[in-house]
Amino acid sequence: MKVLPGAGRSSDRPAPRARPAPAFAPWLAPALVVAVALAMRLWALRWQPFVTVDGTEYIRYAEALAAGRPFGSIFPPGYPLLIALVRLVLADRVLAAALVSLVCGALLPLPVWWLARRAVGVRWALVPALAVALHPELSRFSAIAMSESPYFLALYGGLALAAAARALPAGLALGAAFAIRPEALVPAGALAAGAAARALRGRLTPRTWALGAGGFLALAVPCWMWFHATLGEWTLTPKLGALKPVVREWRTDEPRLRAPATPRPEGAIETLVKNGPAAVRQYPSNALAHGRSLLRLWPAPLLVLALAGLARRRGTEALPLLHLAAIPLLGLSAQPRFVLGALPALAILATVPLAAPGRARAAAAALWVIGAAWCGMNLARDFTRPFDGWLDAQQKAGLWLSGVAGEDAIVMDRKPYVAFYARRSYRVMPDEPYDTLIAAAVGGGVRYLVVDQKIAEVYRRQLEPLLYDAEFRDRELRLELVYVGGREVGYGLGIF
C-alpha cells in the first residue's frame, strides 16, 4: 500500500473552527418566557373591559398632563405620564392605560431573570422568570389601569442593575419606580444605606454611591417639586397619610361635608408623632392580615421554599421583602394587591433550594409543583372576573350621559365610574342625612345625582326611597329621574 507523504499525521491538518455562538443565544430562553408572559397578559386583558376606581384618576391625571394643566393628586405623576405618551397614538383611554400595564408586565420576567442569575445561576434563573410570567394575579394586574405593573418593572430593573454594579442606571430605574409608586422609597433607601456602609468600609467608592444616589434624585426631586406645585406643600410623599390606625368600621372613613376638627399633620415628623404609637400597636394584627393575603397569592409550599432560600441567601433580590415588614404600619385594608410586589423576590428565593445540589432538590421540585397548582386553582376564578366587578351598567349610563349633559356638568356619585364614562366632572357623594345631602348637591352646582341600587342598599341607605318609592320621588321637587339602567334582577341604577 502506498502511503502518501504526510498522511496519518493529524497535526498537519488544520483544526475545524468552532462556530461562535450567536450573540442573542443567552437571551433566547428569557425572550421565550417574555412571549409566554405576553400571551398570559393578553388572555387576562380579555376579562378586563372596564376601568378601575384608581384608573379613573390616573387617566384624568394623564389628560391633564397632556393639556399642560396642574392636577392635584396623592398619586405620583409617573404612571399618568406613561398613559399620556400612549394616548398620542391610541384614542381609547382605558385601553391605553391597560396597554402600559400590559407591556410592563410582559417585560417583567427579564429583570427577574437577570437578578436571579446571581442567586441561582443562569440555568435555574428561568424558574422564577417563568413563575412571574404565569402567575394569575400578576397577569391580571398587567391588564388593568393600575400602576403596579410599571412599578414592578422599574423596581426589579433597578435591583438587577444594582446587583450588576451599574450604579447610575440603577439609581435612575429606582427613581422611576418612585415616580410611579412611593413605596419604592423602602428598597431604594435600604440599598442606599447598604451602599453607604460599604463605602465607609472601603468596599465601594464614594463616586459609585454618588452616581446611584444622583440617578435616583434626578427623578425623585421633580416629583417632590410637582407635589409642592399641585398640593401646596413639601412632602416626601402625600401617601404618608396612610400611617394611621386601620379603619374597622367603613362608615368612619366615608366622606363628610364637614372636615374633622383636628388639623391634618403637616409633615413626616408630625405624622410619626401623631400616628406612630397607634401604628405600632396595630402592627401584629395587621401583619397577620397581610400574611393571609400573601398566602393567597403565594401558597404555603412556595413560601416554605422562599424562607429556606432566604436563610441561605440574603442578597439584593430580597430587598422587596422589606415592603412586607413595613406595610403593617399603615392603615390599609389587607388587600392582596398590597403584597403583590414581593412575589418576584419570593420566586427567586424559592428557587434557591431547587438550584442547590443534593437530595433535597427532589423535595423542592415537589413543593414547587404543589404550590404552583395550588396557586393556579386558588386564583383562577378571580382571573376571569373584572377587577372592580361588572360595570357594564355604569358604562352604558355614562355613555348615555355624555350625549345629553353639558360640558361643565358635575356628576355626584359614590364611585366615579359613570362620571368617567360620561367624561364629566366628578364629585364624591358625602355620607350625610338625606336632606343635607340633597341640599349640598343642589347648592354645590351638581347637575346629576347617580343612585346605584347596590350602593344604596349598603352605603347610602338614605337614598333608597328614590329607587323604591314612586310617591316619594313625586314629592321630591328638587330631583327628576332622567335615566334608569341596569335592569338585571336585583339591580338598578338611576340618574336624577
Q: What is the mean pLDDT of each run of 10 residues along the chain (496 residues)?
A: 44 50 71 96 94 96 94 94 97 96 98 94 94 97 96 97 94 96 94 87 87 94 94 86 69 72 54 70 87 94 95 90 90 87 96 89 92 91 88 91 94 94 94 93 94 89 90 91 78 87
pLDDT at 4: 44
> What's the chain's length in residues?
496
**Dihedral, 248, 272, 156, 333 alpha carbons, nearest 10:** 0
Q: What share of the chain is helix, strand, coil (3-state, %, to 5)?
A: 65, 5, 30
- pLDDT at residue 489 in the model: 62
Close Cβ partners of 282 (under 8 Å, ≥ 6 residues apart): 245, 246, 328, 331
* Cα(232)–Cα(42) distance, integer angstroms: 41
- Cell, residue 325: 415588614
Q: Note the pLDDT of residue 390.
A: 82
Spatial distance between the Cα atoms of 263 and 259, rounded to a whole number of angstroms: 9
**Residue 419 in contact with residue 457, Cβ under 8 Å?**
no
Residue 48 identity (one-letter amino acid): Q
The tens digit of pLDDT for each residue in 27-46 reads 888 999 999 999 999 999 99
Count the neighbouring beta carbons within 10 Å of the beta carbon of residue 213.
21
Per-residue model confidence (pLDDT) at position 130: 97
Closest CA to 339 of 115, 135, 97, 74: 135
**Look-up: residue for cell 432538590?**
361
Predicted local confidence at residue 5, as pLDDT: 47
Residue 487: per-residue pLDDT: 59
DSSP per residue, 322-343: HHHHHGGGS-----GGGGGGGH
